Amino acid sequence: MSGGTVRETALVLGGGGLTGVGWESGILYGLARAGVDLSGADLVVGTSAGSVVGAQLASGLLTPRELYERQLADPAGEMTAKFGAGLIARYAFAMLRSRDAAEYRRRVGAMALAADTPAEAERREVLAARLVSHEWPERRLVVTAVDALTGEGVPFDREGGAGLVDAVAASCAVPGVWPPVTIGGRRYVDGGFRSAVNADLAAGYRRVVILAPLPIGVGRLPSPVRQAERLRAEGARVLLINSSPEARKAFGRNLLDPARRAPAARAGLAQAAAHVAEAAAVWSGA
């Protein structure tokens, strides 16, 4: 990052489907309501669900309360999809056949390219409708995705040439469910297949809060815990908030079920109370 840019606070928002969007919004509102407003972070890193939340929060057009209240609205117009045991088994089989994380991402990318999914343009319209702005914010926002062909993780930002809607759509392109997203002639899939949170992109920031709807790593992919520990080892003050057992119960069995977004948001709001003191300590630097 160029000279003169503050590298103080970073908010990292992980993946977790529509339930992740709801839960993160609930956590953010609950903390803000208690006096710890994370929306002013110098950097926001968004992965999959976190890219939707991050884009709206960084826009400055929604308060944490308004972001939360949007999750309680009727989910009419959302595409219903299934994220179930069969798809998870396909991911697991791809992992078992892979020698390393890069090969795993390439296998999942190939699966995504071959899958029968809704049309890319149709899916893009849904993501565009979720966002309150289609322009990159002035605040630094990084949205993660994975190149479906090479398996390379790609961080999109306002300097990278991709439009915000396309970057968010790519970050949310769950392989085997949603179509890969075309940007600059390349096809991209869900950034969660690089990492559930991609917190390493907050390296160099002094104070970091990570929200992880899915608190585990998959196979060789780094877990949120491991990434948080790495940031601490580099000198950052880090708070990792994983979804509670109660929140995961609210998520249900299908993370992509629009009807579970509101229960997940309420669960996040309830959970936030348990993290106010530690969030305040990290965010204030006290």
Catalytic residue among 190, 223, 243, 257: 190
Catalytic, 190? Answer yes
Q: Cα torsion for 178, 179, 181, 185, to the nearest 10°?
A: 170
CB 166 within 8 Å of CB 128 = no
Catalytic residue among 48, 51, 98, 195: 48
Catalytic, 48? Answer yes
- The full 3-state SS of the chain, as one line of letters, equals CCCCCCCCEEEEECCCHHHHHHHHHHHHHHHHHCCCCHHHCCEEEEECHHHHHHHHHHHCCCCHHHHHHHHCCCCCCCCCCCCCHHHHHHHHHHHHCCCCHHHHHHHHHHHHHHCCCCCHHHHHHHHHHHCCCCCCCCCEEEEEEEECCCCCEEEECCCCCCCHHHHHHHHCCCCCCCCCEEECCEEEEEHHHCCCCCHHHHCCCCEEEEEECCCCCCCCCCCHHHHHHHHHHCCCEEEEEECCHHHHHHHCCCCCCHHHHHHHHHHHHHHHHHHHHHHHHHHHCC
b/e per residue, 185-211, with b = 16+ CB within 10 A? ebbbbbbbbbbbbbbbbbeebbbbbbb
Catalytic residues: 48, 190
